[in-house]
Amino acid sequence: MEIRDRYAPSPTGNQHIGGVRTALFNYLFAKSKGGKFILRLEDTDRTRFDEAFVQNLYDTFNWLNIHWDEGPDIGGPSSPYVQSERFELYKKAAEELIAKGKAYRCFCSSERLDNIRAEREASGSSETGYDRHCRSVSAEESGRRAAAGESFVIRLNIPLEESTKFHDHILGDIEWKNADVNPDPVLLKSDGFPTYHLANVVDDHLMNISHVLRAQEWIPSTPLHVIMYRAFGWTPPEYCHLPMVMGQDGKKLSKRHGATSIDEFRKAGYLPEALINYVALLGASYEEGKEIYTLEELAERFSLDKLNKAPAIFDYKKLEWYNGQYIRMMTDEALAEAALPYAVKAALFGSSGAAAVPSAEQKKTFIAAMPLIRERISFLHEAPEKLAYLFSEPPVPAAEEFIPKKADLARTAELLSLGRGLIEPMAVLNDADAEAYIKSWCEEHDIKLGDIMMPLRVAITRARVSPPLFGSIRILGAKQSLERIDAALGTLRAALETSKETR
Active site residues: 255
Question: In terms of DSSP H, where are the helices of 207-271?
Answer: 222-232, 262-267
Question: In terms of DSSP H, where are the helices of 181-294?
Answer: 196-206, 222-232, 262-267, 272-280
The DSSP symbol for 219 reads G
C-alpha–C-alpha distance, residues 85 and 28, integer Å = 28
Name the packing angle between helices 469-501 and 409-420 (round to 10°). 140
Give the neighbor-by-neighbor strand order of the sheet with 103-106: 103-106, 153-156, 186-188
Region of residue 65 (left: phi > 0; alpha: psi -120 to 50; beta: else): left
Pairing of strands 245-246, 312-313: parallel
* Closest CA relative to residue 57, chosen from 22, 28, 85, 29: 22
The 3-state DSSP class for residue 371 equals helix
Residue 451, number of CB atoms within 10 A of its CB: 19
Pairing of strands 4-7, 36-39: parallel
Which residue type is seen at 347?
Answer: A
The 3-state DSSP class for residue 215 equals strand
C-alpha–C-alpha distance, residues 79 and 72, integer Å = 8
The answer to whether 60 and 15 are in contact (CB under 8 A) is: yes
Pairing of strands 211-215, 238-242: parallel
- 238 - beta bridge partners? 211
In whole angstroms, how far apart are CA 422 and each of 201, 313, 403, 419, 481?
A: 75, 53, 19, 5, 11
H, E, C per residue of 124-159: CCCCCCCCCHHHHCCHHHHHHHHHCCCCCEEEECCC
The DSSP symbol for 349 reads S
Which residue type is seen at 333?
Answer: E
The answer to whether 178 and 124 are in contact (CB under 8 A) is: no
* Closest CA relative to residue 423, chosen from 414, 439, 434: 434
